[in-house]
Chain A
């Protein structure tokens, strides 16, 4: 019995010692790691960088405290689905200024890696009736507040965010194309073949999929205008708005009641702009409640030119 007690005791004391030694090792390495970190910080001390915090303040901190951090796909997906809090994005297109320069189209196609015949944004030549004037009409996705495309999607691949933007998640899309049938504006395109920048069969695109840019694009899925949600997150204007040489686009936030012209960078009151110019929406009778407004094509500075796009002679 006594001997028994003894064995138990010695086993217990062994574990005690082992635990003590373990704790010592952990504490030691932690101390060394901290010291190493400190040395690292000391090395770069003095260099300051300016950063914008999440709540919008500009702060200056030591570069050594900055850690590089890349967003992973699930993180991008999560914030991409939620959208930007407190914002209601809106676009105003001044038809009087558009002369079909198509810079909006090409910058959009560049940013989203689209083929020449694929449009998130297209400029159409319109004429309501034979006796009325023809005009150019840029046509992005209308980012409807009552989007028919979102209603019919069977898998929640396309969705409406709190900031008003309608996005498409090409990692979930099954390619049924119901949304294309539902959209009265033909705002959606489909990747009938491998997208423009596809790497071929053997290689995998290593880039992380950003639902706010919809890049990399994927074969067999839908793509559409995203109001350049990736640019908005950085506080910049959309690609098309920025690229326009003629001051056609205003873009901004309905909550702030302000929109900024992409060319002149002039910021104006949204409500005043719409009222003063008798703004209208595309096919409002369908009840889609678009977030894109048009200003009528009156008092134009240039004559309308009917142009033929050589692409219409090709077959793809």
Chain B
């Protein structure tokens, strides 16, 4: 596969065309300002909801003593999951020498950076005493999985930022000399380009540091989602008490992340006129990748639900009944059928792997992925070992409130903002690499 000849660009190109096409979207357009303005307003509204939560306590959410983890926690799992795609595309596919990822790798890294940077804030929004956040460092005890999570997520974010930044250096060096870029941006480019002059030594340093990071990020990425799954699996509750939670979560993460990348590819291809760089071929390949990871995830789902359902142990039986035919049946079957099985079947058809249909399918998969986390977190908490008695009615069944929903949306808006800004001010198709693949001399 590694020796396979891949044509990543749909038309003959030279350096000038590359410069024109790939830096073309970098300007402070009115539509971008309007988009960011809209996001800022939305974020402001959501942060106001968080302010209310800070003032009145978590009573403003639907969480109570039995369902004490809810939408915030499932949103956190979704964030960590989505960030894993950077590792899958750049490291796993990159290290085995797959060439078609060249124009997609940076999009995947931007998504990884955005989600991993904001994931920490999602957890803070769930804390009863965010003012005591520093206690985690002052009084931290390393036998708590939360400490492991803090450690690996921070490490993953740093490596992801480096994996975004280092391959970008040659592109910044090219960009700082372009006339049509804003002056302030060229200044930023020239500082960040670190005096890259495309000398053989510099190329060597960049290549070897990227390779080191790609190898490093594989175990770190596996760790972050495995540890995140252990936040649940270390508890003996029905639905969480599972030994396959690590790989189950990791495979699910690749499904969510692949869907994210496909959606981002579609948006950038259209709004930044990159049809010749993000071609039907790339969507086709991403479609196949999504089928592969979704099949692996389906396999783990069958294990996770079928094996306990065969035994029907007391506590598990109650939990599974709620999922299969009870209160969460609609959500459960929608995520399994609409978010997993149907997309797999559809994407087996080549015409469904064209940009537009695969974009729609990816949206369904991503939505399903979000609700799947909800399904993992909430029903388990509603079905504890001992009966729920002598408590108010809303302690027995969890339903998220409006304020809680707004606080959940806030980090999603932040991710969209980070992705928007990075994609706006950076060439999202790697210029230097594309040039070299096409035999263009950049020096």
**Which residues in A have some Cβ–Cβ distance to B below 8 Å?**
117-119, 122-126, 139, 148, 151-157, 172-178, 180-182, 184-186, 188-194, 219-222, 282-283, 286, 309, 311-316
Contact = CB atoms under 8 A, between A and B. Distances in A.
Nearest to A100: B390
B94 to A, nearest CB: 35
Interface in B59-77: 59, 61, 63-66, 68-69
A182 B140 CA distance: 18
26 contacts: A117-B392, A118-B65, A119-B391, A123-B390, A124-B389, A125-B389, A151-B143, A155-B136, A155-B139, A157-B135, A173-B132, A175-B58, A175-B129, A176-B126, A182-B234, A184-B237, A185-B385, A186-B65, A186-B385, A191-B128, A192-B57, A192-B61, A192-B64, A194-B57, A283-B385, A311-B391
A173 B146 contact: no
Contact of A221 (B64, B126, B128, B237): B128
- What are the nearest 3 A-B pairs in CB distance? A175-B128, A220-B128, A193-B59
Interface string B4-18: 000000000000000
B140 A175 contact: no
A316 B143 contact: no
Is chain B's binding surface mostly helix, strand, loop or mixed? loop
Contacts of A157: 135, 139
B311 interface: no
Contact of B231 (A178, A314, A315): A178
Contacts of B390: 117, 119, 122-124, 309, 311-312
Contacts of B129: 173-175, 220-221
Interface string B117-156: 0000001001111101101101111011111000000000
B135 A180 contact: no
B381 interface: yes
B77 to A, nearest CB: 13
B145 A124 contact: no
Nearest to A282: B386
B199 interface: no
A124 B390 CA distance: 8
A152 B384 contact: no
A219 B58 CA distance: 9
B65 A189 contact: yes
A193 B53 CA distance: 10
Nearest to A182: B235
A161 to B, nearest CB: 16
Interface in B380-416: 381, 384-396
Nearest to A118: B65
Contacts of B232: 181
B51 to A, nearest CB: 15
B144 A181 contact: no
A174 B128 contact: yes
Interface residues of B, number: 50
Nearest to B384: A186
Contacts of B385: 184-186, 283
A192 B387 CA distance: 21
Contacts of A172: 132, 135, 139
B236 A314 contact: no
A148 B144 CA distance: 10
Contacts of A191: 57, 128
Given A124-B386, A182-B235, A186-B65, A154 B57 contact: no
Interface of A is mostly: loop
Given A175-B132, A176-B127, A312-B392, 12 more contacts: A124-B390, A151-B144, A151-B234, A152-B144, A155-B139, A157-B135, A174-B135, A177-B126, A186-B384, A193-B59, A220-B127, A314-B392
Contacts of A175: 58, 127-129, 132
B57 A220 contact: yes
Contact of B391 (A117, A123, A148, A219): A117
A282 B386 CA distance: 10
B235 A193 contact: no
Contacts, number: 157
Contact of B69 (A117, A153, A177, A316): A177
Contacts of A312: 389-393, 396
B389 A309 contact: yes
B56 interface: yes
Nearest to A219: B57
Contact of B236 (A117, A148, A190, A192): A148
A125 B391 CA distance: 13
B59 A173 contact: no
Nearest to A171: B132
Interface centre among A124, A172, A174 (most CB of B within 10 A): A174
A155 B142 CA distance: 9
A155 B129 CA distance: 12
B327 to A, nearest CB: 17
Interface in B144-176: 144-147
A314 B384 CA distance: 21
A185 B66 CA distance: 11
Contact of B145 (A152, A174, A189, A315): A152
A186 B387 CA distance: 10
Contacts of B384: 184, 186
Nearest to B65: A189
Nearest to A151: B143
B65 A156 contact: no
Contacts of A184: 235-237, 384-385
Which of B57, B68, B130 counts the most chain A CB atoms within 10 A? B68
A219 B237 CA distance: 27
A286 B235 CA distance: 10
Contact of A190 (B68, B133, B234, B386): B68
Given A154-B136, A186-B65, A176 B59 contact: no
Contacts of A177: 68-69, 126, 128
B63 to A, nearest CB: 7
Contacts of B123: 176
A45 B203 CA distance: 93
B68 A126 contact: no
Nearest to B147: A154
Contact of B146 (A152, A185, A315): A152
Interface-centre pick from A155, A156, A219, A286 (highest chain B CB count, 10 A): A155
A225 B384 CA distance: 19
A190 B234 CA distance: 21
